[in-house]
Chain A
Amino acid sequence: MDEVEETLKRIESHKGVIGTIVVNAEGIPIRTTLDNSTTAQYAGHLRHLAMMARSTVRDVDPQNDLTFLRIRSKKHEIMVAPESNFLLIVIQNPCE
């Protein structure tokens, strides 16, 4: 648990990061630095999106797999890193 904490703290303390969310396979947030409502929103939506992206990639080439998903918006950038059971969501403000 400490390692996990430490790693997450490293990410959270990076420049421009607004918040991080760790989500389990079902889409239920495990650990978050944002408030509950925002977390629930992000977790719910991004899980579906990540699944869809993953299926897209695998449909095109079954050997392939999704490693990272980045969504760039006007205000900030959302990064989603999927893995076997979990999902890590990071929201960062661009520098300019």
Chain B
Amino acid sequence: MGHKRTKSATSSAGSKGKNKGHPDDILPMVLTSATQELFGCRADEDVTGESPYKLLRKDDIVQDIKTRAAASDFSPVKQIVLDYPEEEMLLVFDKDLTYGQSFYLALTPEARDRIFKPETLEVSENEVDKSSEPKHWISLGSEQEIDEESAKETRKKLWYRFSRVRRKFGAPVCFSDRNTADAKDSHLKCASYQDSRFSIKQMQRDCGMQAVPRLQSSSAQTEWKFRKNFFTQYKPRELNKEEIEDILQAEGLKNFCNLVTPRVLLALQQEEVMNVFFDDWKVLGAGAEAGDWSGKVSEGLVLHQAFSDQKYAKDKKISSINWHPTILGVLAVALTDKKENQLDESVTFILKRAFIVFYSFADPANPQLVLECPDDILSFEFCPSNPNIIAGGCINGQVVLWDISAHVTCLQGTQTGGKKVSVDTDSFDLEDNKETEAPVVRYCAVSALESSHKFPITDIQWLPQTFEVTRTGLPVENKDKVSVQIVTCSPDCSVLFWDVRMPKLLSQSLSDRKQNADQKTQVTPFIIPETFKHLDRTWKPLFKVSLPKIDTSGEYAPLKFSFEHYTCNVKTEKDDEDDSTEVVPDYSQLRTTSARILAPLEDVNTHLYVGTEDGELVYTDWKLEKDDSGRLFSAKPLLCFNPHHWLVTTIKRSPFFKDIILTTGGWNFAIWKEGIMDGPIFVSPSSETECTVGCWSPSRPAVFFIGKEDGSIEVWNLLQNTSEPAQVYAHISNVRISCIESWTAGPKQYFLAVTDDLGTLRVFEIPKTLYIPVRKERLSVQTFFELQKDRLDDYLMRTEQWAKEKREVKKEAEELKKKTEPDKPVKSLQKSEEETRKEYSDYVALEESTLKGIGLWKNTQDD
């Protein structure tokens, strides 16, 4: 219905040729059903009265026109379609046949619009017509927002007018620089500052690394200036066999031989006859003077140093002296009281303090170390395996032990220079800490009084570290490899063996006792080394060797003794040398090992030589034997000889021969050889003065020194003269020489330490003549001893023979007497004459035969 209206509305506008019934831009068409199907505008199906409009594409229409040409329904409008500016054309289904056909096509876009739009227009118009009345505006608050947002003038705009004089325009201008810093406040800086409110810590930093090889290549070039070969290798030329044959056959060789042979034979013989290059003269004096022809060779003992200390050595005599085994130049002397112990005068008990004083070469006036003893010491010795342990024998029969490990530095320090090393800050001396004070060391341990000797201990020695002895005297191997046992002797007719180790049985009880003892020791002001704590006051000897007399009852009273220092196989000797570098075992930790697990050593010589009070030398075995009841007792000594007429003062073994022993006593000395049971192999002639001490020379087997009562020293050389000393050094001292000890400080330095009864210690240097051994001296001495032995045997044999002969003669004489009793006067005379004549002829015959035997027989024997 709208159509009509539209038409009426717009018909006035486009009613130009309306007679046809349709406007010009609309063309009614008839579309065949085929076309309708093609374009999808079938009547009443695709396009209906409600939706009559269909937009057709121009291209489709064109296509249809091209394909169907004249048959196409659009052929009449071909030109219009082609000219149609737009893409789509409107096709309207006209149901009511308003324009005379069922379809019509809008030919122009305007028509299309008109047809299309009017509907909208119509719709909008309708709507506009319906709601055309404007409403009153309702304020919803939007005008406030607009007011706020809009910019309004608050005041009237101001007008200013600037003007300048015209001539100034266009004038030249000069520009210059100005520093902003010149004028104050000309600029405002905004400097950067560290804001303390926060700090940024750089957690990660990138850095680059480059590995550079550590190689460096360098080169050098040497100039080979003088070209010559260093080595050449060559081979000797040799002739082959034929050539040799030829040469040998040649005449020339024969001549050569003939000429040369006599010369060669002469030379060979010359060689044989004598050695022209042997210098007899030179060889003659090779012994003593070899090497040093300075001409100032000293003949006598040169006094090296004399030591005497006013504080300790005043009014004392020296009883024993020992060189320190390891520290060079250090000596220890035992000082004893001069007066004899007069027991009945001891009404007031004076506390005597006895000392052993250490002297050092570096400081002759002051002692380096002082050992305190409970009583006078007659004899002491350094432990061979640990020179810090010293054992001494007291006058009251006790054995005393010292441990000077803490003070060794005092002794060693003085070795290097003359300056005395300052006393240690933790020293144990009570005296004021003056520079010149020597530290006083108290003894570590003393033996139990009741089990020690009853008389003074006159000799004390350590057993070497190569063996130890059990409770029965059996020598067994020493597992600890240190010296642990001591032997002492005393005129109470006993030789005691002591062990410094803690016995196993007592260790338990001792540990309890130790706690008590600790409390005790806190009281004492002295600090004593704890090495021998286990022995102190409870020390008992291992066993006792008594010396019953051989022929009579009673016992020998030993003064000195000597035993062989057993050195077993080479292996342990090497260990001994290493021992000095190894850690020395702590003596307080040593325990006696059970005798059962130790292997007995068979080849130890368990015999002792003991010198007695009466001048006898007793040779006994220290092994104890069991008697019938099972008790242990000492066997009777094997030998006893009495060469000396008074006390035996020294027994010393030769450092060169294990079995040669020198003993001095009374007015002579004797040399013994172990194993020879018949007596000393050499006894010196009795001298006018007492021999007080003897000492072998450390470097010459045939030389030894004898100290005398009058203060002189005799040097005996067995190879030179056996009836008198080789040299006598008189006036060494004014008083009796008490001790002589020798020491080597090197191959050219030999010292002799001599002490006397005034308490002075003198050290002499042994001159070259006395320490350089003669050629083959040892061998000569050995032969000498052998000769002596033979002489002794011979002598004994002869004495026996003489004794026998004497007995026979005596018997004969008696018989003769009996027989010739009746006709004594005449017959005896006759017989005696006959006898004498017979004897004389016998003698002559004997003489002849002897002289013939020797070869000195002269025929002019008739007189």
Point out residues on A near B: beta carbons under 8 Å: 1, 3-4, 7-8, 10-11, 14-17, 22, 24, 26-31, 40, 43-44, 67-68, 70, 72, 77, 79, 81, 83-86, 88, 90, 92, 94-96
Contact = CB atoms under 8 A, between A and B. Distances in A.
Interface string B334-352: 0000000000000000000
Given A86-B252, A94-B275, A24 B247 contact: yes
Contact of A3 (B254, B260, B275): B254
Given A11-B264, A85-B256, 8 more contacts: A1-B249, A10-B261, A11-B268, A83-B260, A88-B256, A88-B257, A88-B264, A92-B268
Contact of A7 (B247, B257, B271): B257
Nearest to B259: A83
B264 A84 contact: no
5 contacts: A1-B248, A10-B265, A16-B268, A31-B244, A79-B268
A94 B271 contact: yes
B253 A4 contact: yes
Nearest to B248: A1
A72 B277 contact: yes
Contacts of A31: 244, 248
A81 B252 CA distance: 15
A63 to B, nearest CB: 19
Contacts of A26: 237
B248 A4 contact: yes
A43 B236 contact: yes
B138 interface: no
Among the interface residues A1, A31, A70, which one has the most CB atoms of the partner chain B within 10 A? A1
B7 to A, nearest CB: 153
A29 B389 CA distance: 74
A27 B259 CA distance: 19
Nearest to A11: B264
Interface of B: 236-239, 244, 247-249, 252-254, 256-261, 263-265, 267-268, 271-272, 275, 277-278
Contacts of A14: 265, 268
A28 to B, nearest CB: 5
Contacts of A24: 239, 247
A84 to B, nearest CB: 7
B296 to A, nearest CB: 34
Contacts, number: 84
A92 B268 CA distance: 8
Contacts of A77: 271
Contact of A92 (B236, B260, B271): B271
A40 B234 CA distance: 11
Given A1-B249, A8-B257, A92-B271, A68 B263 contact: yes
Given A68-B267, A84-B256, A40 B261 contact: no
> What does DSSP make chain B's interface, helix, strand, loop or mixed?
helix
Among the interface residues B258, B260, B265, B275, which one has the most CB atoms of the partner chain A within 10 A? B260
Contacts of B263: 67-68, 81
B264 A81 contact: yes
A93 B524 CA distance: 81
Contacts of B278: 96
A27 B238 CA distance: 9
Contact of B261 (A7, A70, A72, A94): A7
Contacts of B252: 84-86
Nearest to B278: A96
A81 B257 CA distance: 10
Among the interface residues B249, B257, B267, which one has the most CB atoms of the partner chain A within 10 A? B257
Among the interface residues A8, A44, A85, which one has the most CB atoms of the partner chain B within 10 A? A85
B271 A28 contact: no
B266 to A, nearest CB: 9
A40 B236 contact: yes
Contacts of A85: 252, 256
Given A17-B268, A40-B236, A94-B275, A3 B257 contact: yes
A90 B248 contact: no
B258 A30 contact: no
Contacts of A83: 256, 259-260
A96 B265 contact: no
Nearest to B238: A28
A10 B271 CA distance: 16
A3 B253 CA distance: 10
A71 B364 CA distance: 60
Contacts of B275: 94-96
Nearest to A43: B236
A44 to B, nearest CB: 6
